[in-house]
Structure 1
Amino acid sequence: MRWYTVITTLFLLLLAGCGKDLKLSEGVVHQFEQEPLLVGQISDDGRLLLTVTVSEQVTVWRTASRQVEYQVPQEQLLKPVRHALLSKDNSLLLVANYDTLGIWSVSGRSFIHKVQFTGVDPMATISHIALSPNNGRALIAMTDGSLNMADLNTRLNNRFKPHSRPIDFLAFGKQGELFLTGAQDGKVGLWQFGSPKSLFEKEFAHRVTSLTTDQDFSRFFVSDGLGAQHIKTLVGGEEVVKLNYSARFKIFRQSQFIPNAPLLATSSSKSHLSLWNTGSGDELGTWTIATQREGATIMSMHATSAGKLYTLNSDAMLQSWDLNQLKAL
């Protein structure tokens, strides 16, 4: 039994080593801005791309043609720009400063309205935003751990305080009824919109540095700083697998489940992309992204059903990766 364990371990190590030697990158598709980005997002369907530069220029691009779809006029912006988000159907653009959320129509190229939000602590500022798939509900998280649940149709807002530290992660379910939160207090919670009662809560030893869900909203990946990285079921929070890697310290930032494949992509605080087997938790390899400036990091990822992964980094570089090569491992 011991020899079997040793052989299995050696095989997995060799497999990971083969992954690192694969040249998955297909190169930089395009660099959309010359300035560094404050915010970057690839749309859910990959057709559009959102950039917010350090000079606070908010632009929505057509990915294929690399042309501007819509650029928010400077006089309309809520400065300083802290957060920006494209809706899942690409029709709306949300931009927020410290305490106000603005909504623009991308297709209509026009400003719709703005709403001010507060936390339980009057000094709290907006820490994260999310929009439901049907665009009817918004989540506005605050640095004091409170959360605003705003119905954009009725203009009603319910506020409660699920965390004690800033909320950095929000994810809506497919129907916009359930949502997941993750914060610097190390807690992850599943909630029903409009209710302050959690469906489940998990507390980790360190602050949450990465949190994402799969397409079916049935599993989530969470990293609690330098502690441990888990894939868990979303309804009850049961353990599916824990990631395994040889590095003593590994920081996890962006993360993305790959559709139609047992794969998870993660990024680090440095210029690295890692891929994992979601069945075993084993690391398949880590690759260095293309950058223009030292310290550039991945800000957004988009995976296709054809086995392509696209990454957008803080240098505004869109890079393509061929995940089909991993099938050979």
Structure 2
Amino acid sequence: MKPVKRLIFLFLFPLLVSCQNGEPPLSATERWQISDRFIVDGKLSAHGAFTALLLADNSLEVWNNKVRKQVSGWQTNQLVPKTMLMDLSESAEYILSANDTTVQVWYTDNEESLGNVDFSTHLGDAKITQILFLLPPYLFLVGTSSGDVIFADSLNNSYRVNRHHTSDVVQLALSKDQRTLFSGGNDGLVVKWDMINYRPIVTKRLPFRIVSLAIGRDNQIFISDALKDHILWDSSQNSVVGQITYWQRFKSFRHAIFTPHQPWLVTSSPKAGMHLWHTDDMTMRGSWQVEAQTPGSTVEDIKVIGTRSLRTLSTNGVLQDWDLSSFVLKTIK
């Protein structure tokens, strides 16, 4: 295929698939822009009630989405230089932030610092590539560029280091009951961890780097790599129980989330595309676009609100709510 024709095909393919599927248009039921400043990282709390933003000037903000007001904030000089990562607890009471070597813990109610942890001794020449709360505020997880997963207890100054990846740990996913942890790396490896002994239980390797993980019901996890494999993996049986086929997936997925009340999986593309899949057969049942104000706009986070709705946060600081019941979803028997 000639280069020009290939470019035309790549541009038109998603539109052709959408028309063939007869997908109904989906409009946001609510829309609100928190900030028009450049967002380095953004997180939603449980049910999308609060939003935390890490901004390009090295500051942090927390917003109450119900009243649409900022409730907490930290200035540039309060964060360690070049902070690039952040995590928000489900309750929005606590925030983790990190640069290449240091993790900071914040209490949002009174904007108090709960301490800094310098991981330079553990890291050596490596750097921090991922952070995630385990049990806020003092128990948390750190992924590194050398393939380590660090189980950190900053209150008791205890840090358990386990290396099972051979390159950057870029994904950490914890189950709601906090009993199951999965890590994903640029080496294409996904590891299920024993949270008592901090040891690997079972692993799954994909051909390319892992770009998203989402934990569903019954030990199932959705795994997406950067190119061609997007599977539903039963970690208890170490078997693939579903996959998105080549013509359907066409794009990689940056984020993924299972809906707790419906057999649905929602994914976001590397840009502004959203897709809804039925987990019984992994067929796509709908797609839509979040608001994109610039060519580089993408989805920062997704949370389920209610039984059939989602809230998305974009890199433009735009929150949008989506009623998924507008899609015609037939029960798969």
Give the TM-score normalised by the residue count of structure 2: 0.88
Q: For residues 9-53 of structure 1, what are the alpha-carbon distances to aligned partners after superposition, in whole Å with 9 as ceiling and x for unaligned? A: xxxxxx975765312222561111111211011112321111112
| Aligned residue in 1 for 2:8 | none
The one-letter code matched in structure 1 to 2:89 is: S
Aligned: 1:315 with 2:280: no
Aligned: 1:240 with 2:241: yes
The one-letter code matched in structure 2 to 1:235 is: S
Q: How does 1:262-301 map to 2 (within 5 A)?
A: 262-301=263-302
Over the residues paired in the alignment, what is the CA RMSD in angstroms?
2.3
Structure 1 residue 236, shift from structure 2 partner: 3.6
CA separation in 2, counterparts of 1:27 and 1:62? Answer: 18
| Aligned residue in 2 for 1:257 | 258
| Aligned residue in 2 for 1:183 | 185
Given candidates 90, 96, 101, the residue that maps to 1:94 is 96
CA separation in 1, counterparts of 2:18 and 2:236? Answer: 31
SS of the counterpart of 2:326?
Answer: helix
Determine which structure has greater relative contact order: mean sequence separation of CA pairs < 8 Å that are 6+ residues apart, divided by chain length. Answer: 1
**Contact 1:40/1:51 (8 A) holds in 2:** yes
Size of the aligned set, in residue pairs, is 315
Q: Structure 2 vs 1, CA of residues 248 and 240 (structure 1 numbering), >3 Å: closer, same or farther? A: closer
CA separation in 1, counterparts of 2:99 and 2:22? Answer: 41
CA separation in 2, counterparts of 1:25 and 1:133? Answer: 37
Q: Structure 2 vs 1, CA of residues 73 and 203 (structure 1 numbering), >3 Å: closer, same or farther? A: same
Percent identity between the aligned chains?
24
CA separation in 2, counterparts of 1:306 and 1:88? Answer: 18
Aligned: 1:142 with 2:144: yes
The one-letter code matched in structure 1 to 2:312 is: T
Structure 1 residue 222, shift from structure 2 partner: 0.3
The one-letter code matched in structure 1 to 2:222 is: F
Q: How does 1:104-183 map to 2 (within 5 A)?
A: 104-118=106-120, 122-133=124-135, 135-183=137-185
Structure 1 residue 246, shift from structure 2 partner: 2.2
CA separation in 1, counterparts of 2:209 and 2:96? Answer: 26
| Aligned residue in 2 for 1:4 | none
CA separation in 1, counterparts of 2:261 and 2:196? Answer: 33
Aligned: 1:26 with 2:24: no
Structure 1 residue 219, shift from structure 2 partner: 1.7
Q: Structure 2 vs 1, CA of residues 74 and 229 (structure 1 numbering), >3 Å: closer, same or farther? A: same
CA separation in 1, counterparts of 2:140 and 2:270? Answer: 28
Give the TM-score normalised by the residue count of structure 1: 0.89
Which consecutive residues of structure 2, in runs of 5 or more, have no partner in the other structure? 1-16
Q: How does 1:4-83 map to 2 (within 5 A)?
A: 21-26=23-28, 29-83=31-85
Which consecutive residues of structure 1, in runs of 5 or more, have no partner in the other structure? 1-14
**Contact 2:72/2:110 (8 A) holds in 1:** no
